[in-house]
């Protein structure tokens, strides 16, 4: 069995998230998704939705076998526990693939690291970003 990990913040699910997770699921037999804890999100604004709600929403998707909250101190703890064959990064995630490979090697975790394919908008006004969805809500409701 080929075990796959995808990871992210998953704040306000949108078609880009669904594409990423579907793409990751297609790379193996079992998809585990690690949801970043809000306290660990430092590369963009903190999530609107709390950790448990984001985890529950991801777990409800048919392509996801298990959803896990990330570790509060060490992002590699759940990876060690899940023991994946491949980690699939989102095509536009900020992560450095070589840095992740080096950290995995240092921890003697033998798995592939790859990127999901991009999903282009299917129509002009389609939003594929939680931040853009939030911006649209603020624009239209405030």
Residue ranges of the annotated binding site are: 9-10, 14-17, 92
Residue ranges of the annotated binding site for ATP are: 9-10, 14-17, 92
DSSP string, 12-36: S--HHHHHHHHHHHTTSSEEEEEEP
- In DSSP terms, which residues pair with 4 in a beta bridge? 31, 86
Provide the 10 A C-beta neighbour count for residue 106: 9
Provide the 10 A C-beta neighbour count for residue 141: 6
d(CA 131, CA 47): 10
Task: Find, among 66, 63, 43, 48, the residue nearest to 10 by Cα.
Answer: 48
Q: How far apart are the first and last CA of the chain?
A: 49
CB 77 within 8 A of CB 40: no
């Amino acid at each position: 069995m080929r075990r796959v990990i995808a990871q992210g913040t998953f704040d306000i699910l949108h078609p880009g998230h669904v594409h990423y997770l579907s793409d990751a699921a297609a790379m193996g037999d079992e998809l585990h998704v690690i949801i970043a804890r809000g306290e660990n999100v430092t590369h963009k604004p903190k999530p609107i939705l709390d950790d448990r709600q984001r985890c529950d929403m991801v777990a409800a998707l048919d392509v996801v076998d298990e959803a896990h909250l990330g570790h509060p101190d060490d992002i590699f703890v759940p990876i060690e526990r899940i023991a994946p064959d491949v980690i699939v990064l989102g095509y536009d995630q900020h992560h450095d693939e070589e840095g992740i490979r080096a950290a995995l090697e240092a921890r003697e975790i033998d798995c592939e690291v790859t990127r999901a394919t991009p999903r282009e908008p299917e129509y002009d006004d389609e939003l594929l970003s939680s931040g853009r969805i939030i911006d649209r809500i603020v624009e239209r409701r405030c």
